[in-house]
Amino acid sequence: MSSADFSSGGKTPPEAPAERSLPEWAPENAGSEFASRVMGGVNDSHDGMTFTPSAGTAPRRRQLTVQDYISGVLSCDRTILSRAITLVESNSPSHFETAQQVISGVLKETGRAVRVGITGVPGAGKSTFIEALGTWLCENGHKVAVLAVDPSSSVTKGSILGDKTRMERLSRCKNAFIRPSPSGGTLGGLTRKSRETMLLCEAAGYDVILVETVGVGQSEVTVRDMVDFFMLLVITGAGDELQGMKKGVMELADAIVVNKADGDNIMKARTTRADYDRFLHYLRPSTEGWVSHAYTCSSITNDGVPEVWEVITEFMETAKASGVFMERRKQQSLSWVRSMVEDHLLRSFYDHPAVKTQMPEIEARVAQGNLAATQAALELLSLYTKQNQG
């Protein structure tokens, strides 16, 4: 609208806005660009706090070599350790070979940590207990790595990965390293990469590895195959505990810990502990030469937490003296080999060109009732074996 339009209507044209003066701390020649500049986020050098005029697109994060990964892990560089774990967890075939070279490079520095698996029913307070135990260990000179496995959604395949947020106090300890990982839908809550992640943490100098699992019952045998000491965390007031908890997972436990033994719940927790102790008396011990017992603790008041660590220490001494410790480690390594072979074969089958081509049609015939499931499986396996033999 022109000034004449305003004159004809008896209106006064608006005054031009006064030029704003920049604050003293603003860079010269910043002009209007200073107030409206769009930061480049992760692709820029801006750290979110200070203003740095961009001279162009910042270079991407430097690509690490295998030796960079190995040196960084062995020197306990947290950034490189995290990147190495991400490399191990990657499903990209291009990352697999690099990850295995890194694992091989640090393998001699592994195997010295105490590996503790912690499982329990939902709501038992696993994360709170791990924070209490981990913080106490850090305060007493240990280096603690927590592998917190979050359940993945069967619908979206995503995970919340909120364990590091829940363990706020432990995450502030300089001797602690918390790595939340998605379960990937694996029953028992452990992915096939969890063992490699554990080895990387051991190579970085962490002498206590705490593995928190999803806790879904008898499938926790997966956890038993990768840790030295297996702990079952339970609570009171969750119904008939002895009937509700499957016998299978109790047979795997080297100790049962009744959590939340504080306030008005102390007497109930002691009664529950006595019940579990009596039940364990009739079960075959999980570890030869070791008698499993039940204990109480409070993750809030820390009562009983040091005693739990004393039990773990006593277990390690007993198992090493009897030779059970080394034998278990050997069997776990062999189990690892078998699981890796099975995983490779499974991936090879589903990535096979002939299988990928024919599977939709075969599955459609099964869904329509025109082909039996067993016959469908045989046809797919035949496609796989014929192509490989050819």
Domain spans, the chain: 1-60, 110-333, 352-389
Q: How many CB atoms lie within 10 A of CB 157?
A: 10
- What is the pTM (predicted TM-score) of this model? 0.77
CATH number of 110-333: 3.40.50.300
pLDDT in tens, 179-193: 987 655 444 335 567
Nearest to 218 by CA among 197, 178, 239, 188: 188
Element (H, E) at 182: strand 176-182
Q: What pLDDT, on a 0 to 100 scale, did the predictor assign at position 181?
A: 72
Neighbouring C-alpha atoms within 13 Å toward the C-beta of 150: 17
Tokens coding 137:
């260990």
pLDDT in tens, 278-330: 888 888 888 999 999 999 999 999 999 999 999 999 999 999 999 999 999 99
State how far the Cα of 257 lies from the Cα of 261, in Å rounded to an integer.
10
Spans of the chain below 50 pLDDT: 2-4, 6-9, 17, 20, 22-23, 25-39, 41-43, 45-49, 51, 152-162, 164, 185-189, 218, 240, 242-244
**Dihedral sign of CA atoms 37, 42, 48, 51 in order:** negative
Beta-bridged to residue 255, according to DSSP, are 231, 293
Tokens coding 334:
């062999």
